[in-house]
Amino acid sequence: MEPVLDIMARAPLFNGLSRDQLEALHAIGTVHMAEKGQTIFEEGEAADGFYVLLFGKIKVYKSSMDGKEHILHILGPGEPFGEVPVFIGANFPATAVATTPSKLLFFPRKRFIDLISQNPSIALGMIGLLCLRLKEFTHQIENLALKDVAARLASYLLALLRDQRTSSNRSIRLTISKSQLAGVLGTVPETLSRVFSRLSSAGYIRVQGPEITVLNPEGLQEVVTSGKWG
Amino acid sequence: MEPVLDIMARAPLFNGLSRDQLEALHAIGTVHMAEKGQTIFEEGEAADGFYVLLFGKIKVYKSSMDGKEHILHILGPGEPFGEVPVFIGANFPATAVATTPSKLLFFPRKRFIDLISQNPSIALGMIGLLCLRLKEFTHQIENLALKDVAARLASYLLALLRDQRTSSNRSIRLTISKSQLAGVLGTVPETLSRVFSRLSSAGYIRVQGPEITVLNPEGLQEVVTSGKWG
DNA sequence: ACAGCGCCTTGACCTGAATCAAGAAAGCAA
DNA sequence: TTGCTTTCTTGATTCAGGTCAAGGCGCTGT
């Protein structure tokens, strides 16, 4: 298993920190394990610290009483979560569940705030992270409020294509199940499935299980911006 | 007109700063005026700083090409905006327009980052602000993704009631037009109007222009949580 | 007072997407 | 392989809410 410090060093939050600073951080954190399906924290629970994911995959979501859930984030190694209530002294605003066996680093609230108060570079890292989250959320709100499901999916696929651009090819692999993707896009599996087949038969993409080939990126972009296609 | 420093002192972002620190901040900012309807910045524009509203009212929104707009924030005096791109070196993710004549303080990016690097208390204030925004956005996403318009309106009214609780009475006043409210709630004026009258005839509220009397807060809470009502 | 203009309301209609209900694939265990 | 479970797809139906269109109400300024 890769050393904890190396994973931390790669996390954007801790970008540009010296080895000494990382050691100091590591010293105030405690390692936790979570098995698949385990709840890390639940919406409304009191928060006395936050987590950094070292290994595994976490989904953070909101759910309504009638069982529907909307996924806010799917997190991979190096990403922090549950940081919001640390700074406003409130409860967790959402629920976090491990979707694979995971390893977490937990930072207690008070000690982390002390550290940050003396360490402007960590503070700036935290600010950068929060701004990134805000931008993502802005995008999510925009999608939910003004775009239809096809546009949301197209936007998601183009983002994936941008991120996992393995040199030249236009094939991407979904890192989450289609049901989960439906949750991320604010819809249900049935609808997502239909949209996939509409985009397929329109010739924009080809779908083979979790393998998506983008045949016509410009077309997808059209779907995102104008919502019309053909 | 109230001195700029006093307004800044009241802003949560600058909470707990000494007079000296406020002076330093003020020194790096420049005052701008905006008339009603004037655009402060537009989505996609390069951002080289952010603003604090001193006086007036600002709406920050996303719009789609077919003219629909979704309002992300309506800001009052003391509130900062456009701070996200300062820290991730990107363009403004949304558009800001003055809805009344307004007075703004503009902080150039570089000088503000310098200041924050040496001033952990400003950094913490900024972190707190960003976390608050994230929490609001989380709530907004939850509303858009899993609640119907009636629940969103009920939630909004209850929040207003909590905020402007003028001692004992249950009457609140909308600070924005109903069309704007529709934009905030992610719907259109027609639908909002219908929901208002449904809630009225169900006996939960009474509406007289911008004056809303909440007759049955528990009932409204029911609408928010279960989405069902009588 | 009256005209003119925003803003709000109401009605009729339409459509995107959720729901309900079966199946079909695809994993996985024994 | 054979079941068994989980995930995905497809079809039929329903419904919330958006769109289009037509007034109504309450402003302001003249």
Res. A167: pLDDT tops 60:
no
CA distance A187 to A177: 14
Q: Which of A77-81, B6-10, B166-170 has the lowest mean pLDDT?
A: B166-170
Using alpha carbons, select from B126, B55, B121, B56 the residue that is nearest to residue B86: B126
Banded pLDDT at B219 (limits 50, 70, 90) = very high
The answer to whether A159 contacts chain B (CB < 8 Å) is no
Torsion on CA atoms B29, A132, A184, B228, rounded to nearest 10: -30
Q: Of B63, B122, B142, B225, which to mutate for an interface test with A (greatest number of A Cβ within 10 Å)?
A: B142
The owner of tokens 């599996």 is A189
Q: What is the pLDDT of residues A47-67, one digit of tens each?
A: 999 999 998 999 999 998 788
State the pLDDT at residue B221: 95
> What is the predicted pLDDT for the residue at A88?
93
* pLDDT band at B60; cut points 50, 70, 90: very high
Write the CB contacts of A210 (distance below 8 Å, at least 6 apart in sequence).
A173, A174, A177, A178
Give the whole-number percent of chain B exceeding pLDDT 70. Answer: 97
Binned at pLDDT 50, 70 and 90, residue B155 comes out as very high
Across the range A69-73, mean pLDDT stands at 94
**Of the candidate ranges A1-10, A16-25, A95-104, A174-183, the one whose mean pLDDT is the lowest:** A1-10
Residue B118 has its nearest CB partner, among A72, A120, A147, at: A120
B124-134 pLDDT, tens digit each? 999 999 999 99
A-contacting residues in B 112-141 (Cβ below 8 Å): 113, 116-121, 123-124, 126-128, 130-135, 137-141
Name the phi and psi angles at A180, rounded to 5. Answer: -65, -40
Measure CA of the first residue to CA of the last residue in chain B; give whole Å. 50
B87–chain A nearest CA distance, Å: 6
| Arithmetic mean of pLDDT, B163-189 | 88
Residue B50: pLDDT over 60: yes
- pLDDT surpassing 80 at residue A168: no
Q: What percent of chain B has pLDDT over 90?
A: 73
B87 close to A (CB below 8 A)? yes
Place of tokens 């651009």: A165
